[in-house]
Chain A
Amino acid sequence: MNVGLNNADDELFRRYKQPLFGFFRRLVPDPDQGEELAQETFLALIRASSRYEPRALFRTYLYAIGFKILRAHRRKAAFRATFLGGEVGLREPASQNTTEAELCLRQAVGKLERIDREILLLREFELLTYADIAELLSLPVNTVRSRLFRARIALRHILSAPHLKPFAAKLAESEGHS
């Protein structure tokens, strides 16, 4: 794929804008920050397009850039919160454009360990293989598999917790309809 051309940039944006936007919206509590990070990722992608070498799937390359930007954002935010005071990550997502399912699932997934959460979301929503996730997060494939297993079991337990039971019932109902 030649990503150095302007029309190719347009095609890239058209094809990957929704997955990347969803990726950041699910990983970052604040929707505005999620949007900003998605924008930064596309800009970085366009700037780095001349250096792209097709050694891996383009999706993996894209999410690698996304993770770099996400980590930089986390470091800055954590540094600011540590030394300048205040809390980060505790801000509830904006009520607009947020469904009940999103709120409940975000709450449930938020209880997982950060790496487990990232692995789970990369597998469930971005449909990356274990090997791709391992490469992306610089982890052994076996670690990815065991952490994913742990995350799924933990999530099943969390979703069966009393305060999420009404939501789980709704989900079961919707699953029954489907």
Chain B
Amino acid sequence: MNTSTHPVAPEEVMAFLDNELSVTDAQAVSSHLEDCAECKSLAEEFRRTSQSLASWNIPGVPARLENLLMNRVAEIDSGFKGGKRGVFTRANSWSWKRWAIASGTTVAALLMVMAISVPNLLRSHLTRDEMEQFSQRQGYDRDSRGIEADGPPIANSRSIAVATALVPMIARTVSVSIVVKDLATSRSSLDIILARHHGYSAQLTVSTPQNAPQSLQASLRIPVSELPSAVADLKTLGRVENESQSGEEVTQQHTDLVARLKNARDTEQQLRTILQERTGKVAEVLQVEEEIARVRGDIESMEAEQKTLEHRVDFGTVELQITEEYKAQLYPPSASVSTRILNALVVGYRNGSETLLGLFVFVAEYGPTLLICLVIFALPVIFVWRRYRRMMNSL
């Protein structure tokens, strides 16, 4: 049965029986059904199917369903949110148990945070004097322990360490980014500020690119006593965009260095005494002299290191970046329109070919690995997905 031999489609016959056709179409199908035995038979089949289905009766609603529903509605109305959760139960319908668990968890979390943060907060509120007193007290304690300890070298080094630990040695670093209107003027002002505060420039770079703002980067060394006022003067050069200060404590490093230096000097002195007072073979004398030379080298190296360290403490470092406000300039077009279009086409072609090449390289490089991963992971995913679909369809 098809529309080439029948003026109406089988679906239209079905729609006619379901009263889903317009009046005109319904009249056309009705008159066709009177004349066409085949379509009449089809319509009869549809009727029979519907009648067969109509015998699928469902027993009445059990009374317990009504009672359960009424109970749950009553629970909702009375504001009692306990019991079994429905599909559309809202998140605010927490039972007292959930509230108790949530409150307990919150209190425990707060207590933990307080236990961690309170000692830190108290420590940060100690004044500088209190800290110094504390460190001095610690120093005296260590000093007394050092004197009681056996062996002079260890005791000496500890005493020195304690003595130097009383004054904290801090290498200060300040970073400042400033935006100025005129870089040349600021450069002159920078020199004046450096001279005023007895500082010097350890490193200075000026860059003046085209179509971009000029900038100056400098690493300044300023006596630590003058550092705050020098930084304040530098800030007057323009608008401060960024400022950060840091201090690296090198007390322990310096203490260790001084102790090692003292020990090396003592060793050198002892070696010189041996050389002067003892006699021996030439080889032994040469050996002692070699040892003295080695110790002397170590001493000089450590002295240089000590000077550098002390210099870092005595002179604060200012990492300065000065950027000039960008002033756009009108330039005549560098090339004709046709040239620019041609260049754009060439660049476009090059970019396109490079992209294709990159894609090919990527596929060649990672394709096999990706394929293996895909095979490994796709199989279980397909299996699970098919099982899930089968389960869904079976429901």
A101 touches B56 (CB 8 A): yes
Min C-beta distance of A167 to chain B, whole Å:
9
The answer to whether A44 touches B86 (Cβ under 8 A) is: yes
A37 to B11, CA, bound (A): 34
Bound Cα distance from A16 to B61, whole angstroms: 11
The verdict on A174 contacting B55 (CB below 8 Å), with A13-B66, A155-B49 known, is yes
Asked whether B52 is an interface residue with its Cβ less than 8 Å from the other chain, the reply is yes
Interface residues as binary, B61-88 with A (CB distance below 8 Å gives 1, 0 otherwise): 1100110110011001100000000111
The residue of chain B having its C-beta at the shortest distance from the C-beta of A164 within the complex is B52
* B65 & A47 in contact (Cβ 8 Å cutoff): no
Q: Determine the distance from Cα of A149 to Cα of B46 in the docked complex, in whole angstroms.
A: 9
Q: Which residues of chain B from 152 to 184 have a CB within 8 Å of any chain A CB? A: none
Contacting residues, chain A, for B395 (C-beta < 8 A): 28-29, 73-74, 77-78, 88-89, 114
Expressed in whole angstroms, the minimum distance between the Cβ of A65 and any Cβ of chain B is: 9
Most B CB contacts (10 A, CB to CB) among A21, A82, A102, A178 go to A82
Most chain A C-beta atoms within 10 Å of own C-beta, residue among B55, B76, B77? B55
Q: How many residues of B contact A (CB 8 A)?
A: 42
Bound form: Cα–Cα A89–B387 in Å: 13
Beta-carbon contact of A78 and B392 below 8 Å:
yes
B68 touches A18 (CB 8 A): no
Contact at A46–B73, with CB atoms within 8 Å?
A: yes
Q: B20 near A129 (CB under 8 angstroms)?
A: yes
Contact A43 B88 (CB under 8 A): yes
In the complex the two chains form, what is the Cα distance from A14 to B20 in whole Å? 29
CB of A149 within 8 A of CB of B11, answer yes
Of B49, B58, B66, B76, chain A has the most CB atoms within 10 Å of the CB of B58
Q: Report the minimal beta-carbon distance from A41 to chain B, rounded to whole angstroms.
A: 9
Give every chain A residue within 8 A of B388 (Cβ-Cβ).
78-79, 82
B53 sits at the interface (CB 8 A): yes
Contacting A at CB under 8 A, from B25-79, are 45-46, 48-62, 65-66, 68-69, 72-73, 76-77
Write out the residue numbers on chain A whose beta carbons fall within 8 Å of the beta carbon of B60. 18
Chain A residues with Cβ below 8 Å from B130 are none
Structural contact, B62 and A35, CB atoms closer than 8 A:
yes
B-chain residues with CB within 8 Å of residue A99 when the two chains form the complex: 57
Are A171 and B61 CB-contacts (below 8 A) given A39-B72, A47-B88, A48-B88? no
A146-178, CB < 8 A from B = 146, 148-149, 152, 155-156, 159, 168, 171-172, 174-175, 178
Contact of B14 among A46, A90, A148 (CB under 8 A): A148
Once the chains are docked, how many angstroms separate the CA of A82 from the CA of B392?
10
Q: How far is the CA of A132 from the CA of B49 in the complex (A)?
A: 22
A-B contacts, 23 of them at CB < 8 A, read A18-B58, A35-B62, A40-B86, A43-B72, A43-B73, A44-B88, A46-B76, A47-B88, A75-B392, A77-B395, A87-B391, A99-B57, A101-B56, A105-B52, A125-B53, A129-B20, A148-B14, A149-B14, A152-B14, A152-B46, A156-B45, A171-B51, A175-B48
